[in-house]
Structure formats: structure tokens, C-alpha cells
Chain A
């Protein structure tokens, strides 16, 4: 369970990196599209067929952020109950909570009124990344020291 916890936490961290990469790609592609005379309006953004390449960045960011990461965060929370880690549940709950906040910020910053929330969305991503790395490293350290203890006790009995 400890290993599962560690793997899940690192997996979420990797997906957060994918999030940053995908949105940067999407915005770079959008800039290049506009340079080439392209026009992005709501109708094109909502077009679901053969979209221009950069839109894939938005789609990956949306699917990953609204489905995959929340799902892994939920599984991490469940696993934390069984992993018997010091602060393991608290950190997993913090990750889950930050993911929920992040999803809501992402949704509402795109709404008509509050694009400034996007700044909080970007900053919260780094907070979330830090917390999930701390959770993963703590779990791994506990795993390593437990393994070392086992090795020590094993040597002692020989």
C-alpha cells in the first residue's frame, strides 16, 4: 500500500507537469495560428471535428485536469487510509482538496467575469505540485527506512 501511495503521488506529479506542458503548447500554437491569419472564436473552439493542432493542447489539459488527475487524487485518498503513513491521510486529503480547488478555478476563470482567477489557478498548480511531491517523498522515505530496518533485523537474526 505504501508503494501504491508513492507511485500514485508521483503519477499525479507527472500529470501536473503534462498539464503545464499542454497549456503552454496550446497557447504557443494559438499565437502561431493567429500570426498566420487564423481566427479563434467560440464557434471554432467548440468545433469537435478536425480541430487545428494547438486545440489538442486545450483538450489534453481539460481531460487530464478534469478527469484523470481528480480520479488519481481520489484513489490516493482511499489508499492513504491503508498505507499507515505518518500524515499520509492528511497529505492525500490536501492533494484531493487542492485538485478540487484547481478544477473549480480552471472552470470559473474561463467564465465571463473572472479571468483573473486564472492567476490563482497557475499559482495553485505549483502549491499542488509541491504538496504531492512532499507526500510522495515522505512515503518513499518511510518505505526505505522500513526496508532498512527489515534488513537490519534480518542481519541480527543471522
Chain B
């Protein structure tokens, strides 16, 4: 068949249009112009529960806070600066500091105390906030720019108030331009100790002050536990623990019981194991494990943003807590050789003894799917292979709608080809099953859950903390690429806007 020249051109134009037309439509559909409210971001998903109007709420997030008349028990002022600085270990970093250092100060409190932190931004040009990762704070104190507050501009300050209700290991970090600010230093550790423990028993030993820890080593009572914070962070391609690369000696004696509070502040999971000693995983994400068994020859996977508290008695020859194999805490005599990473990992699904959850997940009011995938498309006008949730790309990710008191179940599945550390703000989720295998160990409460490629997790929580809460991937680069969904309570309204200086990720 011979087509005329004109007919051929027309056919070519139609064919080109057929290829480019859908591409162009998808491109324009992905553009996010100006600023927007998180209340209008995403597709409302009521999870099979009753629907409600979510554009008009009576409670403004900023007012969902602690009793303003109550006097704080712990008062801390944190000054954020953008500058070149030296890590405690000597390496120079072009980034951000809190009170002149990074990591920032360890914030310590006892269970039940009201913590009041004043954040002052001295020179962070893009603005800054503090998010209390893993602490179920009231919404006003959650520290997400454009969602629960405006980013704090240079010269301004913001006051966070929350009651440290749960003893455990937590951390704080900026939630404004977090994929830039957190890797470069805007974070620190939070330790909440039980109210019934004697003060002398658990001094927090910061290995950055190795000279200061001598006074906690003269422990006479064997029931005493020495607290050690192990805040892991990769600065400039090198893993550090409390700012030190390589081996960090900790002045503890053989026979001493230690609790090592491992915190992963990076974008990917980190394996932790102990050379030279068995150990117990006594807490995960700020919740104690019920009857944790002794572990030997196994590693513990601490996901991005997650925490694990390891307890051990320092053996005669000392022990090494290996953080990913590239940094280590050396406890006591520097004797034991480095053991390679064990092939087996502690499976928290069956670790410890089962105990009541305190609610019935089978009587769920709402059931959501959180299916993570990856597909070709446009995000903010840029073509690429982007993370999708329930088949949708940013900004059409689901908005999980709940009412106060609801029992909520979520099925998180990952078929995206990569691991994702899923972080829910303001709540702890309990793992019910993985790949349809029911949990049999100690209740496994998480705020940061490692969901590997091909895995499915069933989790549940009680919606008991009204507000608007991010539910996102804590690979902060993925979050910045639009992998951010959120939980939206009935009757809550948000006066802040994302854009116009607020860039939460």
C-alpha cells in the first residue's frame, strides 16, 4: 500500500501524538503548584469505617498540646546553627549543629516528667523544626513543618512541650528539609528512664565524654545497669557512633551490666551484633520486650529511624558492640576480636514471651492497605521510577481517615524492589503478622518498621492521639521524592501549609 505524502505525515503525527499525548497529560497532572494544605493532599481512605467531612474541624492542631499551666520538669534550650564544625571524633563536616555540636545534646527525662524544649534557630537559612521520633507527643509538638507548625526561621524560636510517658530510647531531628538537614547533623538522642529507678543506677554514659564516665564505673551493686547511648550516623560516607568513627572505647569494668541504646539515624537498615558476649534485646523502639531470651551468634537489624536496646554483662575479656561492622563500642578491655556479621538475625516476631496487647485488633474499626510499589511516571513534573502507594504516585497518596478511639489495622506490603523503613508519627503499632505468620513473641511495638522487598506486615494500633500524623518512609530521600502518606483524625484542622517555606521532607 502506498500512502500519499500528506497521509504519511498525518499518520506520523497521529502516532507521535499517541505516544506523547498520555505522557504529556501525566506530566501536567503531576505538577504541584504553590502551597497546599495537608488536609487536601491525597485521596481520603476511610478503611471501611464511617466517613466524615475532613475539611472542617473544630480542633486546630496547634492547640492539641499539654496543659499550658503545668510547670516543666525538664527544660532544655537547643540552638540550631548552619556551620562547618568538627565531630567529637575530629572529622570536619559542613552542616548543622545543635548547641554547637552534632549530634546534639542527649535529652534525658524520667517517665511522667513534662519536657519543655525551646528550639532557637540562629542561622539555618531554610528554617528548622524538631520532631520527637518515637515519642507519642501531642500533635502540637510533633515538629513537622507545614503540618503541625511553620518552620522556625533564623532569629525565631519555638517551644515543644510533651510528657515523657513511656520510658525508652528515642531521638529527635529536624522535619524541615529533613533529607538535607538530618544527614548533615540536625539530630540527637532522647533517653526516658523509668520513674521507679534510683538515680545512681542508670547514669547515661555518653562515650563522647570518655573522661567523665569514670565515676559511673565504680558500681558496687550488680543489679545496677550502666546506660550507654549509641547514636549511629553516617557522616561523609563514614559511620560514626556518637560522632566517633571506628572503635569507641567505653570505660566499663568486666562484670558490669550495661544497656546499649542503639539508634539508627540513617536512611537504611543497620545490622548490630556483639563480639565476645551474648546479649538480650531488652527494648525495641522505646518499648520493653517481655522476657527477652539470651542471644548469641545472631545480629539485630535496626531499621532507619529505629532503636534497639541491648543488655549484656561485660565479660572478663571485654565485648564489642558492632554497628554495621564499620563502627563499634568497645566495652571494657579492648580484647575480643571483631566477629563477622552473623548470618542469622533475631526474629522479633517470635522473640520474648507473648503478653496481652491491651486491645483487640480483631475488632478493628478501620482496615487500611498500604501497598508500596514502584512505577514509571511523573512526580512534580519529573519523569522517573517513583515510589507508589496503593498504585498512586505523589500527591495522590492515601490519606488514612480515623476517629478518636478507633482500632486500626494496616496491611503494609512492599513490592517495590527495595526495603522501606515505615515510620508512623504519634503512635506505636504492634506487629500482628508477617507474611501471614502470626506473631508469637513479646508484643512487638514499633514506630519504625523494616519492610523488606516482598514482605507483608499486618500491624494494628489504637487511634488515641488526635491530630494529623505523617505515616511515611524514613528513608528521607524517598520521603523527599513523595513517599509520604498521613493519618488524619476526624474533627482536626490544620492552619499550616506545605510550600511557602515549609518543606517537611
Interface residues of A (CB under 8 A from B): 38-39, 41-52, 55, 66-67, 70-71, 74, 77-78, 81-82, 84, 89, 103, 107-108, 110-113
- In the assembled complex, B254 has its CB within 8 A of some CB on chain A: no
Chain A residues with Cβ under 8 A from B232's Cβ? 43
- In the assembled complex, B342 has its CB within 8 A of some CB on chain A: no
By the criterion CB–CB under 8 Å, are B383 and A67 in contact?
yes
Chain B residues with Cβ under 8 A from A77's Cβ? 19
* Max chain A C-beta neighbours (<10 A), residue from B11, B20, B235, B385: B385
Chain B residues with Cβ under 8 A from A39's Cβ? 239, 324-326
Of the residues A43, A45, A67, contact of B264 by C-beta under 8 Å = A43
Give the total of B residues in contact with A, Cβ under 8 Å: 42
8 sampled A-B residue pairs with Cβ under 8 A:
A44-B266, A50-B237, A81-B13, A82-B16, A103-B385, A107-B385, A111-B418, A111-B453
- In the assembled complex, B89 has its CB within 8 A of some CB on chain A: no
Interface of B is mostly: mixed
By the criterion CB–CB under 8 Å, are A50 and B236 in contact?
yes
- In the assembled complex, B269 has its CB within 8 A of some CB on chain A: yes
Chain A residues with Cβ under 8 A from B348's Cβ? none
In the bound complex, CA of A74 to CA of B271 (Å): 41
By the criterion CB–CB under 8 Å, are A66 and B384 in contact?
yes
Residue in chain B with minimal CB distance to A33: B237
By the criterion CB–CB under 8 Å, are A81 and B16 in contact?
yes
In the bound complex, CA of A74 to CA of B378 (Å): 15
By the criterion CB–CB under 8 Å, are B452 and A46 in contact?
no
Chain A residues with Cβ under 8 A from B236's Cβ? 49-50
- In the assembled complex, B55 has its CB within 8 A of some CB on chain A: no
In the bound complex, CA of A52 to CA of B326 (Å): 14
By the criterion CB–CB under 8 Å, are A43 and B237 in contact?
no
* Max chain A C-beta neighbours (<10 A), residue from B20, B264, B268: B268
Closest Cβ of chain A to B381, distance in Å, is: 13
By the criterion CB–CB under 8 Å, are B269 and A43 in contact?
yes
Residue in chain A with minimal CB distance to B234: A47
By the criterion CB–CB under 8 Å, are A43 and B304 in contact?
yes
Given contacts A48-B477, A84-B8, A103-B385, contact A43 B454 (CB under 8 A): no
Given contacts A47-B234, A51-B237, contact A42 B268 (CB under 8 A): yes
By the criterion CB–CB under 8 Å, are B184 and A49 in contact?
yes
Of the residues B235, B239, B417, contact of A43 by C-beta under 8 Å = B239
- In the assembled complex, B102 has its CB within 8 A of some CB on chain A: no
Digit string of B449-478 for contact with A (CB within 8 Å is 1, else 0)?
Answer: 000111000000000000000000001010
By the criterion CB–CB under 8 Å, are B237 and A46 in contact?
no
Chain B residues with Cβ under 8 A from A42's Cβ? 268-270, 419
Q: Which of B1-28 contact A (CB under 8 A)?
A: 8-9, 11-13, 15-16, 19-20, 23
In the bound complex, CA of A103 to CA of B239 (Å): 31
By the criterion CB–CB under 8 Å, are B385 and A66 in contact?
yes
In the bound complex, CA of A112 to CA of B415 (Å): 10
- In the assembled complex, B276 has its CB within 8 A of some CB on chain A: no
By the criterion CB–CB under 8 Å, are B417 and A67 in contact?
no
- In the assembled complex, B146 has its CB within 8 A of some CB on chain A: no
In the bound complex, CA of A45 to CA of B239 (Å): 12
Q: Ordered nearest first, which 8 A-B pairs have the shortest CB separation?
A: A42-B268, A46-B268, A81-B12, A46-B267, A39-B326, A50-B236, A43-B268, A43-B266
By the criterion CB–CB under 8 Å, are B417 and A41 in contact?
no
Residue in chain A with minimal CB distance to B450: A42
- In the assembled complex, B367 has its CB within 8 A of some CB on chain A: no
Closest Cβ of chain A to B400, distance in Å, is: 26
By the criterion CB–CB under 8 Å, are A112 and B183 in contact?
no
Chain A residues with Cβ under 8 A from B54's Cβ? none
In the bound complex, CA of A66 to CA of B463 (Å): 40
- In the assembled complex, B179 has its CB within 8 A of some CB on chain A: yes
- In the assembled complex, B380 has its CB within 8 A of some CB on chain A: no
Chain B residues with Cβ under 8 A from A81's Cβ? 11-13, 15-16
Residue in chain A with minimal CB distance to B265: A43
In the bound complex, CA of A45 to CA of B237 (Å): 9
In the bound complex, CA of A132 to CA of B131 (Å): 51
Residue in chain A with minimal CB distance to B93: A50
Chain B residues with Cβ under 8 A from A112's Cβ? 452-454
Residue in chain B with minimal CB distance to A83: B12
Known: A43-B232, A78-B20. 7 other contacts (CB 8 A): A39-B325, A41-B270, A44-B324, A67-B384, A74-B23, A107-B385, A107-B417
Given contacts A51-B237, A111-B454, A112-B452, contact A46 B266 (CB under 8 A): yes
Digit string of B219-233 for contact with A (CB within 8 Å is 1, else 0)?
Answer: 000000000000010
By the criterion CB–CB under 8 Å, are B374 and A107 in contact?
yes
In the bound complex, CA of A74 to CA of B22 (Å): 13
Closest Cβ of chain B to A129, distance in Å, is: 22
Chain B residues with Cβ under 8 A from A84's Cβ? 8
Residue in chain B with minimal CB distance to A84: B8
* Max chain B C-beta neighbours (<10 A), residue from A47, A66, A67, A84: A47
Chain B residues with Cβ under 8 A from A55's Cβ? 237
Given contacts A48-B183, A67-B384, contact A41 B12 (CB under 8 A): no
Closest Cβ of chain B to A158, distance in Å, is: 27
In the bound complex, CA of A64 to CA of B475 (Å): 22
By the criterion CB–CB under 8 Å, are B385 and A47 in contact?
no
By the criterion CB–CB under 8 Å, are A48 and B374 in contact?
no
By the criterion CB–CB under 8 Å, are B266 and A52 in contact?
no
Chain B residues with Cβ under 8 A from A108's Cβ? 417
In the bound complex, CA of A103 to CA of B385 (Å): 9
Chain B residues with Cβ under 8 A from A71's Cβ? 383
Closest Cβ of chain A to B362, distance in Å, is: 30
* Max chain B C-beta neighbours (<10 A), residue from A43, A44, A67, A84: A43
Closest Cβ of chain B to A63, distance in Å, is: 9
Residue in chain A with minimal CB distance to B452: A112
Closest Cβ of chain A to B505, distance in Å, is: 12
Of the residues B12, B179, B477, contact of A82 by C-beta under 8 Å = B12
